[in-house]
Structure 1
Amino acid sequence: MPTTHTCYAAIDIGSNAVRLLIKKVKEDETVLNKRLSKVLLLRVPLRLGFDVFSLGEVSETKAVKLRRLMKAFRQLMKIYDVTDYRACATSAMRDARNGKSIIKKILKDTGISIEVIDGQEEARMIYNNHIECMADRTGNYIYVDVGGGSTEINLLVDGELQHSLSYNIGTVRMLSGAVREEVWGQMHDDLERLTEGLGEVNIIGSGGNINKLYRLAEKKDKKKLRLPVTSLQTLYDKLVPLTPEQRMDTFSLKADRADVIVPAAEIFLTIAKVVRSEYIHVPVIGLADGIIDSLYENKEGEN
């Protein structure tokens, strides 16, 4: 029987980096088995959040770079015969005064339509991407995605989604000194209230920083892909006193990771303390995967 391929693409315009993910659907008609497999992943550290959280808008220099990047992504999607795509912008573009005008110009120049999604939708999309891997989990989990501009949190009880929350606490926002103290307090109070009486609550971590922290940590459970909170604390204590340049040399980090990795660890440690977590589970997950999963599911629903 013939094998056919359909390709989907996701563009994730984050506060620290912009990503293009392309996955193909491999359909084997003999065994009726369909699966999504990664064809291409590109990550470009445009760092839009450093403009937005300090100046309130995206600078003209970065707006031009974003347009050029979208043109390049458009050509790559043509090369890979992408049949459907979705482009989503998150925290930085939500906050940017000139966000709408930039998106309008990108649509005119490239034909790419960008949606600015709110934090709640971002949280749900990230969670929904991994509902299958959660189906066999029992117990209580806080699903945490730490981005450059915001942190998305989902509370799961025996694999069932109970609450989706979003807070303007992110790595780039913290480095820009743009996180208000009351937002930390709100997150602390919400988590304390929602997890009261639940007993043990562990974290499922999402985002590039927690994946890097997991790889750098000396003590971890590789079989179960989980990082003890005590091990994360030890690594954090080693990272904090170093300059970004020293972190690059000592831990072989890229420049756009060396600064944001510390506030990311701080966010995870703060949440772990509030909900009394012992472990952080670290599957490789992200918003772009969630976007493609939703495209695939919508297409399947039409058939």
Structure 2
Amino acid sequence: MLNIKKYAAIDIGSNAVRLLISNIIEMNGEPVQFKKSSLVRVPIRLGEDVFVNGIISKENKARMLDTMSAFKLLMKSHKVLKYKACATSAMREAENGKELVDLIYKETGVNIDIIDGQEEATIIAATDLKDFIKLDKTYLYVDVGGGSTEFSVIHQGEKVDSKSFKIGTVRLLKDIVKNEAWKELEEWINLKTKNYSNLEVIGSGGNINKIFKLSGKAQSKPLTYFYLTSYYKMLQSYSYEERIYKLDLNQDRADVIIPACRIYLSAMKWSGAKSIYVPKIGLSDGIIKSIYHNKVSSQLKID
């Protein structure tokens, strides 16, 4: 017997806010399937407020309210049964983050959980990484966000270590990442990967997904360190305007893609990885699967 239901994930990041709606397809005697039904991305960029001024601006508070109202209606239209909304780095650090969460719940009924970096890494690890990794290899999983980057070491199919660092694309754009933070990251990667040979990197995030798509590579093939270095240098040779007009990048992607490349390349260099795999997974996918497997709390549909 076939059973199809819809779950939703809301990912409130430092660069953008996303709503992912997925079909959960169950068939007797068969593995459950997760199929994306709809994905909406709104580039509010909360991090520009928070990482510089410490609070979310009045304008972005209003945009968040409008966005959550729209997401509520979309979930209702799709007949979503369960959802979970997670806010990450920017909302964690905003002085008025909790105040905005309460306001959104009061005005829209959408309940938002502000999660820490460790929980974020755990949810991301709940994605179907097993479909992309080989049990005889070791990987450094790197999820680059606007405010932070989550790192996980995966050995023989199991996560053996993970940590969140306050090094993200929006922070780097604002030049507020200190050299000490980079040194701490380098030392952590060196320490956690030194005992593994032939390590490879798995990258997730909108920027590496965009780079991979433009490369024309087959999904099962990785990008090499040489390719990513060349692409990074090419991006730097263009102005912001040229990256939008000539490279066909969205305006909210054309600036953050350069610091994102820097983070991925640094992770590859310090871990000794020669290639990076780019499966299309991230926090939203992890939320959906965590809801299904009852690994996180979730909310019932909004009437």
Q: How does 1:2-17 map to 2 (within 5 A)?
A: 3-17=2-16
- Give the structure 2 partner of residue 48 of structure 1: 46
Mapped to 1, the partners of 2:184 and 2:166 lie a distance apart of 11
Alignment partner of 1:213: what SS?
helix
Mapped to 1, the partners of 2:143 and 2:136 lie a distance apart of 20
The answer as to 2:211 corresponding to 1:199 is no
The answer as to 2:238 corresponding to 1:242 is yes
Q: Is the 8 A contact 2:135 2:155 kept in 1?
A: no
Mapped to 2, the partners of 1:137 and 1:22 lie a distance apart of 30
* CA root-mean-square deviation: 1.5
Mapped to 2, the partners of 1:285 and 1:42 lie a distance apart of 15
Offset at residue 33 of structure 1 (A): 4.6
Output the amino acid matched with 1:122.
E
Alignment partner of 1:263: what SS?
helix
Alignment partner of 1:164: what SS?
strand
Task: Describe the superposition over 1:186-219 as per-residue Cα deviations: whole angstroms up to 9, x where unpaired.
Answer: 10001111111312211000001001112234xx
Offset at residue 251 of structure 1 (A): 1.2
The answer as to 2:146 corresponding to 1:183 is no
Task: Describe the superposition over 1:134-188 as per-residue Cα deviations: whole angstroms up to 9, x where unpaired.
Answer: 5643211100000011000000111111101100000011001121221111100
Output the amino acid matched with 2:254.
A
Q: How does 1:4-83 map to 2 (within 5 A)?
A: 4-29=3-28, 31-83=29-81
Q: 2:100 aligns with which of 97, 102, 109?
A: 102
Mapped to 2, the partners of 1:178 and 1:117 lie a distance apart of 22
The answer as to 2:263 corresponding to 1:294 is no
Mapped to 2, the partners of 1:281 and 1:19 lie a distance apart of 23
Offset at residue 32 of structure 1 (A): 4.3
Alignment partner of 2:279: what SS?
coil
Unaligned runs of 5+ in 2: 296-303
Q: Is the 8 A contact 2:9 2:19 kept in 1?
A: yes
Alignment partner of 1:251: what SS?
coil
Mapped to 1, the partners of 2:6 and 2:62 lie a distance apart of 28
Query: Cα distance 1:271–1:60, how it changes in 2: closer, same or farther (>3 A)?
Result: same
Q: Is the 8 A contact 1:202 1:279 kept in 2?
A: yes
Mapped to 2, the partners of 1:133 and 1:194 lie a distance apart of 23
Mapped to 1, the partners of 2:187 and 2:161 lie a distance apart of 14
Query: Cα distance 1:131–1:236, how it changes in 2: closer, same or farther (>3 A)?
Result: closer
Q: How does 1:203-214 map to 2 (within 5 A)?
A: 203-214=201-212
The answer as to 2:273 corresponding to 1:277 is yes
> Structure 1 stretch 133-142 or stretch 101-110: which is displaced more?
133-142
Q: Is the 8 A contact 2:140 2:153 kept in 1?
A: yes
Mapped to 1, the partners of 2:202 and 2:180 lie a distance apart of 25
Output the amino acid matched with 1:228.
T
Aligned residue pairs: how many?
295
Output the amino acid matched with 1:224.
S
Mapped to 1, the partners of 2:194 and 2:131 lie a distance apart of 25
Q: 2:252 aligns with which of 256, 275, 300?
A: 256
Output the amino acid matched with 1:8.
Y
Mapped to 1, the partners of 2:291 and 2:116 lie a distance apart of 18
Offset at residue 132 of structure 1 (A): 3.0
Task: Describe the superposition over 1:13-56 as per-residue Cα deviations: whole angstroms up to 9, x where unpaired.
Answer: 00111000011112334x54531211110001111111111111
Offset at residue 246 of structure 1 (A): 0.8
Mapped to 2, the partners of 1:182 and 1:159 lie a distance apart of 32
Q: 1:232 aligns with which of 228, 237, 243?
A: 228
- Give the structure 2 partner of residue 216 of structure 1: 214
Alignment partner of 2:151: what SS?
strand
Unaligned runs of 5+ in 1: none
Task: Describe the superposition over 1:196-251 as per-residue Cα deviations: whole angstroms up to 9, x where unpaired.
Answer: 1312211000001001112234xx75262310010000010111132211111221
